[in-house]
Amino acid sequence: MHYSRVLVPIFAVLLIMVSAGFISAEVAPRERCLHCHGNRSVISSGKGYLYIDPHKFTATTHSRIGCSSCHDSVTSRHPADALRPSRASCKECHLPVVREYLGGIHAEKAACPDCHNPHTVRPAEVVSGADMNVQCARCHDNAGIIKKHGHWLPQAQLHITALPCITCHTGSQQYVINLYIQSRHGDKPRDGYAPATHDELAALVRPGVPVSRVIDADGDGVVSLEELRTFHRNAATRGMRLWGMMMPEKITHTYRILKNRWDCTFCHASGSKALQTSYLAIPDQDGRSIRIPVEKGAVLDLLYGTPDFYMMGTSRSSTLSIIGLAIVACGAMVPLFHGTLRFLTRKKRKDTPHGAA
Amino acid sequence: MAQHDKIYLNPTPIRIWHWLNALGIVTLTLTGIQIRWPEFLNIFGAYKAAVSLHNTAGIVVSISYLLWMAYYIFVAGTLLKIYVPTAEDLKHGLLRQAIFYFFFYFFGKPNPHTPTPDNKFNPLQKVTYLMIMFLLLPLVIISGFLIMNIGPLREVIIAVGGLKLLDGFHYLIACCFTAFLFIHVYLATLGHTPFAHTKSMWTGWEEEDKP
Ligand code: HEM
């Protein structure tokens, strides 16, 4: 996680606020704002866009700087003054990100608030892969994207559900595997799986116990192979499974069509040392996904790692490779062994015929 | 010198099947190696090319398998007779044939089995081919078909233990095929000339040796 991305802007804002004397002026506490904007009745009044979910807002980093830092022209008479409060522009605090983004191919296609609602933003490491793709799906219809990518990408649907778009379309780096718990929605097998919610998982543990105990049974903050195995054993009967996604750790906004993503071996050839690092991501009440480290090499493990996750060429099991090669070697020994004896005894068969292969 | 009799051992559909199948299996093996170890081996250029070729070869092998099955069941009607070993085969034939290959053969003793169109395999061949054609080939085809359609067939994949297990299974069977291939091609050279059996798989006619 790159705290500088969050902390530097916060300090910048504080500095601006102090130097401009805002802090002493009319700082409206956010409770006052949320008294109206956090009230669900604004939705029913037909002005749903005015609604700010207090829960989600409080969970954001932005909540630390407060409403009026960004809406600084809001007056004490608002809304009676009929003035539309100002809205901060992201670049006031996130200049490096803005610069980076404007250099990419997407600069003209969408602005920061098209992907990020300033009232629900979260640091990247608590955003699940599926949620990241929801941001893109607002404009890029998922079915259409799968169809287009399917022209060149084998198993396009599978790829799109196991990768956030930004893994291929930005220069984001340092890939790890995040494991998400999914649950079946509906009774029929066809209904498919969706990310399990906090409440669904909470129902599986005793009240008051952290939901991560669903898998991390001993609560030591690390998921061991043993714990993964226990979860698998019970998962199917609960209508659950683990879903792996390949996530970048270091997020950048350098939007591009990366040429090397045409080449499957960019991901499918890193050998068995790659992807040693994986996390289990558990949703919390605020929709964030909190990561717990998983024992190293879990995704490479045939039986205890996630059984439904496999990256051809990359997460192959080396034990299995060796067993397979041993089988082939046994086969190759027969001609070698028999052929040698056959050569040494060739005189004995001078004119006797033989048959059958 | 021995005199040569010719018998028609391998009918045309079987010969077509056999070589289509051989080409398919060899392609599958080579592409399969690249798919599993792309960083060590690159025969077909792009990884994607290896994957699509593997998929295509898999379909060819599956279709030719149906051809083989259809011919033996519906046209010749000899599938079980040719491929299923008899009780006698299992009790004595198997051992006799193995002892021949690994012992008497070296001393120039004659093969205890003489192929005829209705009894063309020796007991060892019967057992091996039975395993290959009735167990391993169907299993590798089914697992391959599942892996080709992970999205739509996810439920089935989970039911059989998950993608990883399925893939490992597919890989191990493929290794068995490769092992079989070494032995099979080698034993095919044990005819009265090194290419006699292969020639009969090509022309259909096996030259029988009568001492
Ligand atoms: C380049 C590789 C191959 C060569 C040179 C080869 C050669 C031969 C020859 C000479 C025969 C006739 C002798 C006999 O009946 O045993 C034969 C039969 C047979 N081969 Fe192969 N073979 C090859 C690949 C394969 C593969 C890949 C498979 C299966 C996966 C296979 C399965 C069989 C079977 C089942 C028969 C008996 C066919 C029948 O008459 O019903 N062969 N092969």
- What is the per-residue pLDDT across A77-113, written as a single tens digit (0 to 9) for each? 888 888 889 999 998 899 999 999 999 999 999 999 9
Gap from A267 CA to chain B (nearest CA, Å) = 11
- Greatest Cα-to-Cα distance within chain A, rounded to the nearest angstrom: 114
- Enumerate residues lining ligand 1, CB below 6 A: A 357; B 10, 14, 18, 21-22, 25-26, 125, 129, 132-133, 177, 181, 184-185, 188, 197-198, 201
At B188, the amino acid letter reads A
- CA A86/CA B31 separation, integer angstroms: 61
- Give the H/E segment covering residue A146: helix A142-150
Region B163-170: mean pLDDT is: 92
- CA A244/CA A299 separation, integer angstroms: 9
pTM given for the model = 0.85
Q: What pLDDT was estimated at residue A325? A: 96
Domains and CATH numbers, chain B: 4-209 (1.20.950.20)
Nearest residue of A to residue B125, measured between CA atoms: A357
Residue B103 has pLDDT above 50, yes or no: yes
A260 CB-contact burial (10 Å; exposed 0-12 / middle 13-18 / buried 19+): exposed
List, in order, residues 6 or more apart from B113 with CB less than 8 Å away. A355, A356, B93, B97, B121, B122, B123
Percent of the residues in chain A that have a pLDDT greater than 90, as a whole number? 35
Pocket residue to mutate for ligand 1, from B14, B17, B18, most atoms within 8 A of Cβ: B18
List C-alpha distances in Å: A30 to A18, A26, A40, A57, A86.
Answer: 18, 12, 16, 10, 16
Chain B residues 100-129 with a CB less than 8 Å from chain A = 101-102, 105-111, 113-115, 121-122, 125
In this complex, the residue of A241, A270, A328 whose CB is nearest that of residue B179 is: A328
- CA A254/CA A251 separation, integer angstroms: 9
Gap from A271 CA to chain B (nearest CA, Å) = 7
- CA A8/CA A96 separation, integer angstroms: 11
List, in order, residues 6 or more apart from A101 with CB less than 8 Å away. A107, A112, A253, A254, A255
The residue whose CA is least distant from atom 5 of ligand 1 is B185
Any idea which of A193-197, B53-57, B171-175 has the lowest mean pLDDT? A193-197
Residue A357 has pLDDT above 50, yes or no: no
Gap from A302 CA to chain B (nearest CA, Å) = 6
Region B163-189: mean pLDDT is: 93
List, in order, residues 6 or more apart from B94 with CB less than 8 Å away. B85, B123, B124, B127
DSSP 8-state code for residue A262? S
B187 chain-A contacts, CB cut-off 8 A: 356-357
A64, two tokens: 């630390």
Give B37-65 pLDDT, tens digit per residue: 988 888 888 899 999 999 999 999 999 99
Nearest residue of A to residue B123, measured between CA atoms: A356
Give A271-288 pLDDT, tens digit per residue: 556 678 899 999 988 888
Is B111–A349 a contact, with Cβ atoms under 8 angstroms apart?
no
Radius of gyration of chain A (CA): 28
A70, two tokens: 């960004």
Q: What pLDDT was estimated at residue A191? A: 64
The dihedral sign for the CA sequence A189, A190, A196, A199? negative
User: Mean pLDDT over all residues of chain A?
Assistant: 84
Any idea which of A31-45, A83-97, A130-144 has the lowest mean pLDDT? A31-45
- The end-to-end CA distance of chain B, in Å, is 8
Report yes or no: A154 and B52 within 8 Å, Cβ to Cβ.
Answer: yes
Residues B89, B92, B96: CA angle, nearest 5 degrees: 100
Respond yes or no on whether ipTM tops 0.85: yes
- CA B7/CA B206 separation, integer angstroms: 5
